[in-house]
Structure 1
Amino acid sequence: MVRKLTPAERLATADKDLLLEEFADQSSWDQFLVEQAVFHFGQRHDEWSCNDLRDVLPELGHGFLGAAINALRSGGIIAHTNQTVPSTQANTHAHRIAVWRLTDKGRTIAAQRAACGQQGRAA
């Protein structure tokens, strides 16, 4: 049986121009796309919450947001800042949600991906 890649491994090896066939090979490609979106958002913002992400994700991605956050957290890519903010989602009645940031591991993966992207453009 083939071992499933961790979120860190998927992010470290993901090519920015994935083919549709590669997405089809993913057992949960919707979650994979949302993980990529969260990681990308985290590279551009010091701290964020799901409120921020819901504003930029298509409606389909909202259902995968919690799973993507948990996968990235358990993979050591993002970490809780020990801060919370009220949810802006109407059905949550403003309950508190976590504020997140990239970890050192997440920033290292981002730097490696950026370096690979620059090498590809130079070639």
Structure 2
Amino acid sequence: MTRHLTVAERLAAADKDLLLADIANQSSWDQFLVEQAVLAVGQARESFSANSLRDLLPELGHGFLGAAINALRSGGLIEHTGRMVPSTSPATHGHRLAVWQLTAKSQAIAAARTARREQAA
């Protein structure tokens, strides 16, 4: 039997969807491009945080990088390592950031993509 959401749960989900849309609309960068940058850093490093991406990306709208990371986490492409690090951004005053790593699923996707590129070359 399927459980129906309560009114509060539906409203919270709607608010979350609106907030994510607002975050995406604040940025001139395409969300997919940011997600690709996150995955590229994940391939190059054993683990990473938002600190690892700041130098690679232009200034993004407030929360946009977090939204991209959350989408990748929700999609099963990255996972939390259980570690936290202080933010290196002066604006955040050392706020704690999650440390992420690629999942086996995203590593398999990356390996298949690399194999296709090598075959095409």
Same fold (TM over 0.5): yes
Larger Cα-atom Rg: 2
The question of 1:111 aligning with 2:115 is answered no
Matched pairs, number: 94
Aligned residues with identical type, % of pairs: 65
Name 1:46's counterpart in structure 2: 46
Secondary structure of the corresponding residue to residue 99 of structure 2? strand
Q: Is the 8 A contact 2:41 2:52 kept in 1?
A: no
CA distance, structure 2, for counterparts of residue 33 and residue 62 of structure 1: 17
Q: Following TM superposition, by how much is the alpha carbon of 1:29 offset from its aligned partner in structure 2, in angstroms?
A: 6.5
CA distance, structure 2, for counterparts of residue 109 and residue 36 of structure 1: 12
The question of 1:89 aligning with 2:89 is answered yes
Name 2:10's counterpart in structure 1: none
Q: Following TM superposition, by how much is the alpha carbon of 1:106 offset from its aligned partner in structure 2, in angstroms?
A: 0.9
Pairs within 5 Å for 1:1-123: 30-60=30-60, 64-121=64-121
Question: What is the RMSD of the two structures over their aligned residues, measured on CA atoms?
Answer: 1.9
Q: Which amino acid in structure 2 is aligned with residue 34 of structure 1?
A: V
Q: Is the 8 A contact 1:30 1:64 kept in 2?
A: no
Structure 2, gaps ≥5 residues long: 1-27
